[in-house]
Chains A and B, each alone.
Chain A
Amino acid sequence: MVWHFALFNIIWREIYDNLNSLRFALATLLLLGLMLTNAIVHLREHPERVQNYHNAVVEHHERLKAAADESLYKLAQKGPGYLPKKPSSLRFCAEGGEPYLSERAQGGHHRWGTDTLESFWILAYPSASPNRQNVRPVVSKVDWGFIIGYVLSLVALLFTFDAISGERERGTLRLTLANSIPRHTVLIGKFLGALISISIPFTLSILINLLVISTSSDVHLGAEAWGRLGIIFCIALLYTCLFLALGLLVSARVQRSAVSLVVLLLVWVVFVVFMPSTLASIAGRSTSSGPSLDFSERSEKLHEELSKEYYNNRFKEPADSHKGMQLDSEYVTKDAEQQERLHAERLNQRVEQVNRARTITRISPVTIVQHLLESFAGTGFERHLQFLENVQSYAREYRAFIDDTDRADPDSLNILGVPAGMSQKPVNPESVPKFEDTLNLSKDFNTAATELLLLVLFVMALISGAYLAFVRVEI
């Protein structure tokens, strides 16, 4: 019982000390300012994003309807058009490099046409290059990822760097331990005290941030979104624990608090500020997939080869014979297949490179937290991959629909890719599958699990390190 009492006493004393300190005031101010900025920026930018998405969806539906009213051939030839990515309503939590990820996939871009034939649609992945003509200064966005990853971790270090070394310097630690309080109680007390004192300004600023965001009529946060926010909050606390434990570890090992801070700051700068970008550029460099100039040349060459073969054979057949039409069909579908495969290959290469870089940068805790935040906010690279998967499965569904409808029409010759060879009847626009991008929480959990475990592992290792260091240290 005494033991519990002592623990509560220590926690209470720590909180009381912290609440009265300069760092508490400054941290509160900093976090509040940042969170407010974040909310304001989100309110300014989000409605436009949602509007753009809705416009794109409408455009996609209209394109399908226009093509369906004409004929099945048009539908099969023109394709579904641009497929928009649904913006996440939690974008303020993690920007996740979204500006560098395209907001849409392209399904149906006219590549060539002859007197009788038109190119078939293919799925292509346009790249977003937001900075090509941007002469404005480029800065990182103030999202929760930035606030938690950089500012909160720094604040956590500033709260713990003198937790043990400072008391040792003043001699109060000896006094505390003289009262037959076990060392681990002191350590746990200090840890929990610091954690609670940091969570107060952090929770406050988050609440104000969410208050500002949710009072606006433009942004709707559903029940699921609130659940995600709760998880993000827990991750933030876990991440804070990591730096608190690091602070206690160094503080216990080092004799003077000034030295402790220097060590902590240098560790922080190396792991949080420099590690992610340096590692990413090393990982990115190691495999340079061929330049994009190659791509257009390769695409042209493939098409040329196919055309040559086609014209050689086609020449011998009469214009509207069955054999000729089959040649036409083969030409069109094979071309579309080839080109789409080329695009997919390039995409896969790029994704692989990014994945490699992302795996290596996981050594830095800030990257782990940013990845976690991205997966729970439904932004970032993993989410983009999910979107691409959605797009690809939609493309299959769309093609299957075309095949099935064509087969269902008894008058059709079932020759895909030739205007005369396909069903001539208009299609009911309602029955055409429409693309809708979805966010899937269970998938997010799968992608996040490794990172979450890694983070927990880091925290456990540091806490036990701090415990060992403190138990063995001489006062």
Chain B
Amino acid sequence: MLITLIRRELLNNLMTFRFAAATFIMLLLVVANTFVLINDYESRLVSHNNSVNMHKRQLQETNTYSAGEIRVDRPPNSLSIFNVGYDKQLGNEVRVTHIYVPSLWDAGMHGSSNPFMDMFASMDIIFIFEVILSLLALIFAYDAFAGEYQSGTLRLVLTHPVRRGNILVAKYISAMLCLIVPLSISLLLSLILLTTSTSISLNTDDFLRIGGIIFTSIVYLSVFYLIGLLISAITRRTSTALMLSMFVWGFLVLVYPNMILAVIPQHDAPQERKTSAYDKIEQVWQELDKERKQYLATDDFPGEDWGYELRGWGSRSSNFIMFGNPHTLIYKCRGVMKFTGFGEEDEYKMPHAQKHFRYLGPRIIDTADKTWLVRKPALEDIYIKPANTERIWLKLSPVGLYDAATKTWSGTDVRGVRDFFHAARQYRKRVNDFFLDTDVFGSRQWFSSDKEAADWSDLPHFAYQRVDSNINAMRALPDVCLLLMINVVLFIIIFLIFVKSEV
């Protein structure tokens, strides 16, 4: 019986104009945008590769260790085609140095040639789904009950010994099958386009993530279909159901996500949190400076502060400057020295200079690590926490949940981007260990290249691997579960209304 019902519904749906129109529009939009998105990804990849090569070249050209800037670049995420998230927006290169611990807030940006172009909203496949799938689901659902009430066919069906639950399930399954057709065809086409592109290589993990995205899309589709069914079951008239569905759609998709953040009170962390953390960080650095001065005072060399008296042909004096930015709580010390050589009269100072820097290097590393312990929780409080509160507000609409879940699947959410900076911090540890092991701080090449230039060939390599797909799944799980829960709740409500209703 159920099968007969499903077949009837399926035929009814498949023969309609809306089905043809829906499939056509989905295909058109998804394919057209996939082309654009792949092109965009490719150009970002090119700019990434250029930037990696440039950083490598610049490092090789640097003759002293202290002046060398080791930079690591975040490659563009191939799944950003599905949901671009923060992939294009947040910084994609960061300096790895012993003087501070790199974080998202110290990152720079390469590759965006025209900042004005950010004015135009960027589009991705999930956005198309967000808008169109929900619209389609409602268009399929609005007359499911209301239409049958009006035309009286429901009464006819119920004269047969059919359970009402069966009718509901049949309607649900057949409509979902119909709706999955345009979704899967368009996704398949875009996947084919993706795999034919030479610059994009998807591995097994990526396919698992895409599978997660497809699953989430189906769950999202189902939420809107059930919302439509609910409206249809309550209103009993097709024109009212249609009107109400459209307004609900406009509200959930168009109005709510844009309006809610303006309505809720702002959750900024208090300014004191910033200043107190900054003061603490500054204090830690001042302590180091004090220690350093003490060392210089008891040093066997009678000079005052090291570096100032060293004058090479480049005639740039080195100094130990400390400066910071209270906004992002960054604080660094700098002792850049670029000398090509020294005169004979400076030669006797060399051992002392080396000794000084050998003394200073590990201590700067320690101090930077110490300040990171203060800075990390402060940054969490100031930037991440308010952002998370706003995200929770957005998730009150299924659209927000869907967006968040797909972002997590593709790894373009804030956490996914921050993974890169975590990797950069790990890399910094390796670089520091390398510097300490090979006594780079105490070498002459640290500040001078007159005898021998710095040798960068043994420097550990940086490789960034995105997290496993099961970690993505773990992160996406809460949002997907919430979407599923909305499904179940809506289904139960519709069932109750439908069972109790008079025909």
Residues in B417-457 with C-beta less than 8 Å from chain A: none
Give residues 345-372 of A contacting B (CB, 8 Å).
349-351, 353-354, 357, 361
A463 within 8 A of B: no
- Asked whether, in the complex, the Cβ of B254 is within 8 Å of the Cβ of A101, the reply is no
Q: In the complex the two chains form, is A353's CB within 8 Å of B117's CB?
A: yes
**A269 to B116, Cβ gap below 8 A?**
no
In the complex, chain A residues whose CB is within 8 Å of the CB of B32: 278
Task: Say which residue of A22, A26, A266, A284 sits within 8 Å of B25 (CB atoms).
Answer: A266
List B residues 261-277 near A (Cβ within 8 Å): 261-263
Q: Do B91 and A132 touch (CB < 8 A)?
A: yes
Q: Which of B122, B255, B383, B384 contacts A30 (CB 8 A)?
A: B255
Report the minimal beta-carbon distance from B437 to chain A, rounded to whole angstroms. 33
* In the complex, chain B residues 292-329 whose Cβ is within 8 Å of any chain A Cβ: 328
Task: Tally the A-B contacts, defined by beta carbons under 8 Å.
Answer: 191
State the CA gap A266–B104 with chains docked (Å).
40
Q: In the complex, which residues of chain B have a beta carbon less than 8 angstroms from the beta carbon of A277?
A: 120-123
Distance in angstroms between the alpha carbons of A276 and B29 in the assembled complex: 13
With CB as the reference atom, state the residue of chain A lying closest to B20: A262
B128 interfacial by beta-carbon distance below 8 Å = yes
A55 interface residue (CB < 8 Å to B):
no
Inter-chain contacts of B240 with A (CB < 8 A): 22
B116 touching A281, Cβ below 8 Å: no
CB distance from B245 to the nearest CB of A (A): 10
Q: A109 within 8 Å of B by Cβ?
A: no
Q: Closest approach, in angstroms, between the C-beta of B58 and any C-beta of chain A?
A: 10
B18 touches A281 (CB 8 A): no
User: Is the C-beta of A111 less than 8 angstroms from some C-beta in chain B?
Assistant: no
Contact with A along B91-131 (1 / 0, CB 8 A): 10000000000001101011111111111111100001001
CB pair B118–A26 under 8 Å, yes or no, is: no
Whether A452 is near chain B, meaning CB under 8 Å from some CB there, is no
A216 at the B interface (CB under 8 A): no
Question: A154 is contacted by which of B36, B123, B250, B387 (Cβ under 8 Å)?
Answer: B250
B123 touches A281 (CB 8 A): yes
Partner of A278 from the list B33, B111, B328 (CB cut-off 8 Å) is B33
Is A289 an interface residue, CB under 8 A from the partner?
Answer: yes
Interface residues of A in 217-263 (CB under 8 A from B): 257-259, 261-263
CA distance A166 to B118 in the complex (A): 44
Within 8 Å CB of B122, what residues of A?
Answer: 277, 281
Q: Confirm or deny: A291 has a beta carbon within 8 angstroms of a beta carbon on chain B.
A: yes
CB < 8 Å neighbour of A381 from B29, B116, B242: B116
Q: Is A40 an interface residue (CB 8 A)?
A: yes
Return A356 CB to nearest CB of chain B, in Å.
10
Q: Which of B39, B115, B116 contacts A285 (CB 8 A)?
A: B39
Knowing A100-B119, A262-B21 touch, does A292 contact B89 (C-beta < 8 A)? no
B109 touches A350 (CB 8 A): no
Q: Residue of A at shortest CB range from B415?
A: A135
B257 beta carbon closer than 8 Å to chain A: yes
A281 touches B251 (CB 8 A): no
Q: Which residues of A contact B238 (CB under 8 A)?
A: 258
Alpha-carbon separation in the docked complex, A249 to B226 (Å): 32
User: Smallest Cβ distance from B134 to chain A, in angstroms?
Assistant: 11
Are A354 and B139 in touch, CB under 8 angstroms? no
Please tell me if the beta carbons of A280 and B120 are within 8 angstroms of each other in the complex. yes
Contact B328 A265 (CB under 8 A): no
State A128–B119 Cα separation when bound (angstroms): 11
* A146 B89 Cβ-Cβ under 8 A: no
Out of A128, A135, A257, A290, name the residue touching B104 (CB < 8 Å). Answer: A135
Residue A455 lies at the interface, judged by CB distance under 8 Å to chain B: no
Q: Is B336 an interface residue (CB 8 A)?
A: no
Task: Give Cα A101 to B120, complex, Å.
Answer: 12
Q: A285-B40, A285-B43 are in contact. Are A137 and B110 (CB under 8 A)?
A: no
Contact of A176 with B by CB under 8 A: no
Taking the nearest CB of chain B, how far is it from the CB of A365, in angstroms?
17
Whether the pair B43, A289 counts as a contact (CB closer than 8 A) is no
Cβ of B166 under 8 Å from chain A: no
Cβ of B50 and Cβ of A291 under 8 Å apart? Answer: yes
Alpha-carbon distance between A231 and B110 when the two chains are bound, in angstroms: 42
Is A263 a contact of B21 with CB atoms below 8 Å? Answer: yes
Is A179 on the interface with B (CB-CB < 8 A)? no
CB distance from B241 to the nearest CB of A (A): 10
* Given A154-B250, A285-B36, A291-B47, CB of A259 within 8 Å of CB of B90: no
Asked if B477 is an interface residue, CB under 8 A from chain A, the answer is no
When each residue 40-73 of chain B gets 1 if its CB lies under 8 Å from chain A and 0 otherwise, what string results?
A: 1001000100110010000000000000000000
The residue of chain A having its C-beta at the shortest distance from the C-beta of B417 within the complex is A135
Decide yes or no: A135 and B25 within 8 Å by CB, A142-B262, A281-B122, A289-B114 being known contacts.
no
Least distance between B357 CB and chain A CB atoms (Å): 28
* Bound-complex Cα distance A292 to B117 (A): 14
Interface: B490 (CB within 8 A): no
Distance of A129 Cα from B115 Cα, bound (Å): 7
Query: Judging by beta carbons under 8 Å apart, are A262 and B259 in contact?
Result: no
Evaluate contact between A269 and B89: CB separation under 8 angstroms: no
Say whether B116 contacts A353, CB under 8 Å: yes
12 examples of A-B residue contacts, CB within 8 angstroms: A23-B243, A97-B120, A128-B115, A138-B89, A140-B121, A141-B258, A258-B18, A265-B139, A274-B123, A277-B122, A278-B33, A285-B40
Binding site for A on B (CB under 8 A): 17-18, 21-22, 25, 28-29, 32-33, 36, 39-40, 43, 47, 50-51, 54, 86, 89-91, 104-105, 107, 109-123, 128, 131-132, 135, 139, 143, 238-240, 242-244, 246-247, 250-251, 254-255, 257-259, 261-263, 328, 383-384, 386-387, 390-391, 394, 414
**Interchain residue pairs A-B with the least CB separation, the first 3:** A97-B119, A280-B120, A127-B115
